[in-house]
Structure 1
Amino acid sequence: MTDTYTVLWDMSRSNLDEPFRGGLESVTPGGASTARVQRTELTKREVRDLSRAPEVAAVAPVMPTNLIAPVSNDEAGVEAAAEPAPGGVAWGIEAVGAVASQRDGSGVVPAILDTGIDASHPAFTGVTLDQVDFSGSGNGDRQGHGTHCAGTVFGRDVDGTRIGVARGVSHALIGKVLGDDGSGDSDMLFRGIQWAAQSGAQVISMSLGFDFPGLVQRLVQQGFPVDLATSRALEAYRANLRMFDTLMRLLAAQIDFTGGTVVAAASGNESKRKVNPDYEIGVSLPAAADGVLSVGALGRSPNGLVIAPFSNTFPQVAGPGVEVLSAKAGGGLVAFNGTSMATPHAAGIATLWWQDVTASPLPSTSTTVTARMLAACDLSQLALDVDVADRGMGLVQAPAQQLP
Structure 2
Amino acid sequence: MKKIAIASFAALVMGFGAITFAVPGNAATRSSGIAGQIMVKFRDNGAAAGVLRQHGLSQGAGIGSTGAHLIKVPAGKESQLIEALSRNPAVEYAEPDELVTAATADQYFDRQYALHNVGQSFTNTSGTLTVAGGIVDADVDAVEAWSITKGSGIRVAVLDTGVASGHDIPSDPVPSDNRDLESKVVARANFSTAATGKDNYGHGTHVAGIVAATADNTIGVAGVCPECTILDGKVLNDSGSGSTSAIANGINWAVNNGAKVINMSLGQSFPSRTLETAVNNAWKAGVVIVAAAGNGGTQAKFYPGAYRNVIAVAATDNRDAKASFSSYGAQWVDVAAPGVNVFSTFPNHPFVLDRTNDTNPLNDRSQGYDIASGTSMASPIVAAVAALAWSSHPGTTNALVRDAVELTADNIGGTDTYWEHGRVNAYNAVR
Query: Could you state the TM-score of these two structures normalised by the residue count of structure 1?
Result: 0.72
The DSSP-based 3-state class of the residue aligned with 1:247 is helix
1:172 maps onto 2:204 in alignment? no
In structure 2, how many angstroms separate the alpha carbons of the residues matched to 1:9 and 1:191? 18
Structure 1 position 183 matched with structure 2 position 183 = no
The alpha-carbon distance between structure 1 residues 44 and 182, as it changes in their structure 2 partners (threshold 3 A), is: closer
Is 1:110 aligned with 2:125? no
More displaced 10-residue stretch of structure 1: 153-162 or 118-127: 153-162
Residue of structure 2 in register with 1:125 after alignment:
182
Change in Cα spacing, 1:51 to 1:98, as seen in structure 2 (3 Å) is farther
Q: How does 1:231-242 map to 2 (within 5 A)?
A: 237-238=270-271, 240=272, 242=273
2:55 paired residue number: none
Do 1:84 and 1:325's aligned partners in 2 also have CA atoms closer than 8 Å? no
Q: In the alignment, does 2:201 pair up with 1:143?
A: yes
1:400 CA displacement: 4.5
**2:124 aligned with 1:85, yes or no?**
yes
Q: Deviations over 1:97-140 (max 9, x none)?
A: 21011211111110001111111211112324311111131111
Q: Which amino acid aligns with 1:243?
A: T
Contact 1:111 1:201 (C-alpha < 8 Å) held by counterparts: yes
Q: Taking structure 1 as reference, are residues 123 and 36 closer, same or farther at Cα in structure 2, changes over 3 Å only?
A: farther
Q: Which amino acid aligns with 1:122?
A: R
Task: Write the distance in 2 (CA, Å) between the matches of 1:318 and 1:103.
Answer: 22
Contact 2:186 2:230 (8 Å CA) reproduced: yes
Q: Which residue among 65, 68, 91 is the counterpart of 2:103?
A: 68
Are residues 336 and 51 of structure 1, via their aligned partners in 2, closer, same or farther at CA, if it must alter by over 3 Å?
Answer: farther
Question: Counterpart of 1:390 in 2: which secondary structure?
Answer: coil
Given that residues 93 and 164 in structure 1 are in contact (C-alpha distance below 8 angstroms), is that contact kept between their aligned partners in structure 2? no
Determine the C-alpha separation between the residues in 2 that align with 1:130 and 1:50. Answer: 41
1:368 corresponds to which residue? 400
Tell me the number of residue pairs that the alignment of Structure 1 and Structure 2 aligns: 327
Shift of 1:8: 5.7
Q: Once the two structures are aligned, what percentage of the paired residues are identical?
A: 27
Secondary structure of the structure 2 residue equivalent to 1:99: helix
How far does residue 33 in structure 1 lie from its aligned partner after superposition? 7.9
User: What letter matches 2:124 in structure 1?
Assistant: A
Q: Distance in 1 between matches of 2:179 and 2:225?
A: 15
Q: 1:373 to 1:69 in 2, by over 3 A?
A: closer
SS at match of 1:6: strand
1-structure distance, mates of 2:197, 2:42:
27
Distance in 2 between the 1:390 and 1:139 partners? Answer: 36
Cα deviation 1:222-265 (Å, max 9, x = unaligned): xxxxxxxxxxxxxxx34x1x33333333333x34xxxx111111
* Alignment of structure 1 residues 227-266 onto 2, 5 Å: 237-238=270-271, 240=272, 242-252=273-283, 254-255=284-285, 260-266=286-292
In the alignment, what sits opposite 2:306?
Answer: 288
Q: In the aligned structure 1, how far is the partner of 2:237 from the partner of 2:186?
A: 18
Shift of 1:3: 5.6
Give the alignment partner of residue 144 of structure 2, picking from 77, 100, 119.
100
Q: What does the per-residue CA deviation read over 1:297-337, in whole Å, with 9 as the maximum and x for residues that have no partner?
A: 00023xxx111111101220000011100002214310111
Q: Is the CA contact (8 Å cut-off) linking 1:9 and 1:35 kept in structure 2? A: no
- Alpha-carbon shift at residue 45 of structure 1 (Å): 7.6
Report deviation, 1:188: 1.1
Give unpaired runs (5+ residues) of structure 1: 16-31, 213-236, 272-279
Structure 2 residue identity aligned to 1:392: E
Question: What residue identity is the alignment partner of 1:5?
Answer: I
1:1-400 equivalences under 5 Å are 4-7=37-40, 35-36=66-67, 38-41=69-72, 43-44=81-82, 47-48=85-86, 52=90, 59-71=94-106, 72=109, 73-78=113-118, 83=122, 85-86=124-125, 95-101=139-145, 102-119=148-165, 120-137=177-194, 138-157=196-215, 159-169=218-228, 171-210=229-268, 237-238=270-271, 240=272, 242-252=273-283, 254-255=284-285, 260-271=286-297, 280-301=298-319, 305-314=320-329, 315-330=333-348, 331-358=367-394, 364-379=396-411, 382=412, 384=413, 386-400=414-428
What is the Cα deviation at residue 70 of structure 1? Answer: 2.5
* Structure 1 residues 9 and 114, CA gap change in structure 2 (3 angstroms): farther
CA distance in 2, matches of 1:51, 1:295: 38
Distance 2:261 2:128 in 1: 22
Structure 2 distance, partners of 1:159, 1:84, is: 20
Once the 2 structures are TM-superposed, how far is the Cα of residue 152 of structure 1 from its aligned partner? Answer: 0.4
1:85 positional shift: 2.6
- 1:78, 1:105 → 2: CA distance? 34
Q: For 2:249 and 2:264, how far apart are their aligned partners in 1?
A: 13
1: CA distance, partners of 2:242 / 2:384: 24
Displacement, 1:352? 0.3
The 3 A distance-change label for structure 1 pair 194 and 131 is: same
Q: C-alpha distance in 1, partners of 2:137/2:193?
A: 34
Q: Cα RMSD between the aligned structures?
A: 3.1
* Kept after mapping to 2: 8 A contact 1:51/1:59: no
Task: Give the C-alpha shift of residue 4 in structure 1.
Answer: 1.8
Question: In structure 2, the residue corresponding to 1:62 is in which secondary structure?
Answer: strand
Q: List structure 1 segments (4+ residues) > 6 angstroms apart after TM superposition.
A: 89-94
Q: Distance in 1 between matches of 2:96 and 2:137?
A: 39
SS at match of 1:117: coil
Gap change, CA 1:98 and 1:321, over 3 Å in 2: same
- Per the alignment, do residues 188 and 401 of structure 1 end up closer, same or farther by CA in structure 2, a change over 3 Å counting? closer
Instruction: After superposition, give the CA deviation of every residue in 1:136-159 in whole Å (9 maximum; x if it has no partner).
Output: 311111111110000000111475
TM-score, L = length of structure 2? 0.68
CA 1:176–1:8 in 2, change beyond 3 Å: closer, same or farther?
farther
- What CA distance in whole angstroms lies between the structure 1 residues aligned with 2:409 and 2:162? 30
Contact 1:37–1:190 (Cα < 8 Å) also in 2? no
Aligned mates of 1:402, 1:292 — CA distance in 2: 20
TM-superposed CA distance for 1:340, in Å, is 0.6
Deviation of 1:349 after TM superposition, in Å, equals: 0.3
